A and B are shown apart, each in its own frame.
Chain A
Amino acid sequence: MFATTDLRDPCCAKSGALMSEPLLQAMNLQCERDDRILFRDLCFSILPGTLTRVEGPNGSGKTTLLRILAGLNDAWSGDLHWLGEPRAHRREEFLHNMLYVGHRPGIKPLLTPLENLRALMAGRKTVSDAVLMQALAGTGLYGFEDVPCRRLSAGQQRRVALARLLIADEPLWILDEVFTAIDMDGVEALESLLVQRAQEGGAIVVTTHHDLRLPSMQRISLGGGDGF
């Protein structure tokens, strides 16, 4: 079997306003890439107030799964439901309620952190510059607001992208390798942000090779088929 879903540990399912039905539901999800089946018969639900970690060795399709969930990759079969209805029918509403931070975080090297953050938020939410500055300060970028991002370190650039998490109010977050290049203090702060977010009723899907010290989470394991 390529994939198993472990639901033994349904995390802190405190229900909020919308909060008993799954935000996102996958049924018999299958994806093929380069004539290789990455996963098949994958079934899981993303409930509000839960952390979901997608696990698996390199090349097992973690990023692909996240891109499928975010709606970036269309090469899949099966069913994906948003709030109980096929996602394709409610694409706009889904995009309005989902935040995706990918491998490539969407930071323009020529723009400053503030300009980048402003541009990333522009299509989603009206945010004043003061709030943006506060978010940047919150990720340890105080004093770097006006430095072009290409002069920042890899970790700092990721922090610019992660500053969005301090402002975002989308109920579903899909985060691909968020801990990459982040220092230890940053990882700790991010972990506690994710936990707090889940406790408030947000749903979070992450992939990471980092050993998360999060209290409880749902795991989706993708097996690499031909591993060693």
Chain B
Amino acid sequence: MASDARVRLRLAHEAIGVLPAMKAVFLRDLKTAFRQRQDLLNPLLFFVMVVSLFPLGVSPEVSFLQQAGSGILWVAALLSVLLSLDHLFRHDFDDGTLEQLVLQPQPLFLLVLAKTLAHWVLTGLPLVLLAPLLGVMVHLDGNSIAVLCLTLLIGTPVLSLIGAIGAALTLGLRSAGVLLSLLIIPLYIPVLIFGTGTVAAATDGAPVGGYMALLGAFLVLALTLAPFASAAALRISLSNS
């Protein structure tokens, strides 16, 4: 029973464009995340807890908190992003969605970029939004809080982008957590230094333009290079699984 709907090669113009494909990946990640809200809450709770434990554990002195506040917030943000990284590809890897992602005809690094952006929207962005509140708690002045939020806004995407490389590399491993931290923390250190340096400069009343430009350069570097590395790492991890 030869059918008239014969199978033929699909032509290039029938392919789905890169942007709709990225959007689909992005939206699916948001949707699955909102179906499992407690996973979203974990890094945020961690962030709030660490920051609020410092005054209790070290010193509630205003002078100490003003000096250490921005550093505490930055370190807490960095660690809570690190905590959430393991989930970035893990679930997709386990249920096979990742295989299907790699087999999509669109360039993989762009699809990975969409996934990473979704990760940032779900973890980094809430941290940025919470930061002013915690900034007030550690007695930072208005200007410092604004600068702190700006540095987090530029810095947390870098953390997500770099973290994605490590998450992709350690995907096939059973005890990925420790290795992931060891791989990623050295790469996070420059971002941390310049992030806190910017806020310190703002508190001292010094110009912050130069620091901000460097943070921006980190972001551009991570945006352009990290997705390629993550995509390559994903292929390796899948190939070995």
A106 and B100: CB pair below 8 A? yes
B7 and A106: CB pair below 8 A? no
Interface code B91-104, partner A: CB below 8 Å = 1, 0 otherwise?
A: 10011110111111
A72 and B1: CB pair below 8 A? no
B35 and A97: CB pair below 8 A? no
Minimum CB–CB distance from A32 to chain B (whole Å) comes to 13
Q: Interface of A with B (CB < 8 Å)?
A: 14, 16-18, 48, 70-75, 92-93, 95-98, 100, 102-111, 115, 119-120, 122-126, 148, 169-171, 196-197, 199-202
A100 and B15: CB pair below 8 A? no
Nearest to B94 among chain A residues (CB) is A104
Residue pairs across A and B with Cβ atoms less than 8 A apart, 25 shown, are A16-B6, A16-B8, A17-B9, A72-B103, A73-B239, A74-B236, A93-B105, A95-B105, A96-B10, A96-B105, A97-B10, A100-B100, A105-B96, A107-B97, A108-B91, A110-B36, A123-B105, A123-B106, A126-B16, A148-B35, A169-B10, A199-B2, A199-B3, A200-B3, A200-B5
* Complex alpha-carbon distance, A91 and B28, angstroms: 25
B24 within 8 A of A: yes
Select the residue from B31, B100, B101, B104 with max chain A CB neighbours within 10 A: B100
* Complex alpha-carbon distance, A110 and B9, angstroms: 34
B21 within 8 A of A: yes
B32 within 8 A of A: yes
* Complex alpha-carbon distance, A116 and B214, angstroms: 41
Instruction: Name the one of A17, A75, A105, A148 contacting B6, with C-beta atoms under 8 angstroms.
Output: A17
Query: Quick one: which of B1-59 are within 8 Å of A by CB?
Result: 1-3, 5-10, 12, 14-16, 20-21, 24-25, 28, 31-32, 35-36
Q: Interface of B with A (CB < 8 Å)?
A: 1-3, 5-10, 12, 14-16, 20-21, 24-25, 28, 31-32, 35-36, 91, 94-97, 99-106, 111, 235-236, 238-240
Minimum CB–CB distance from A181 to chain B (whole Å) comes to 14
Contacts of B105 in A (CB 8 A): 92-93, 95-96, 123-124
B16 and A115: CB pair below 8 A? no
Q: Assuming the A-B contacts A107-B95, A123-B105, are A14 and B2 also in contact, with contact meaning beta carbons closer than 8 angstroms in the complex?
A: yes
* Complex alpha-carbon distance, A95 and B108, angstroms: 12
Minimum CB–CB distance from A56 to chain B (whole Å) comes to 20
Q: Assuming the A-B contacts A108-B97, A123-B24, are A115 and B31 also in contact, with contact meaning beta carbons closer than 8 angstroms in the complex?
A: yes
B99 and A119: CB pair below 8 A? no
A171 and B96: CB pair below 8 A? no
Minimum CB–CB distance from B113 to chain A (whole Å) comes to 14
Contacts of A103 in B (CB 8 A): 96
Known: A16-B7, A107-B96. 19 other contacts (CB 8 A): A72-B239, A95-B105, A100-B99, A100-B100, A100-B103, A102-B99, A104-B94, A106-B100, A107-B97, A110-B36, A111-B28, A115-B31, A120-B100, A122-B20, A123-B105, A123-B106, A148-B35, A200-B3, A201-B7
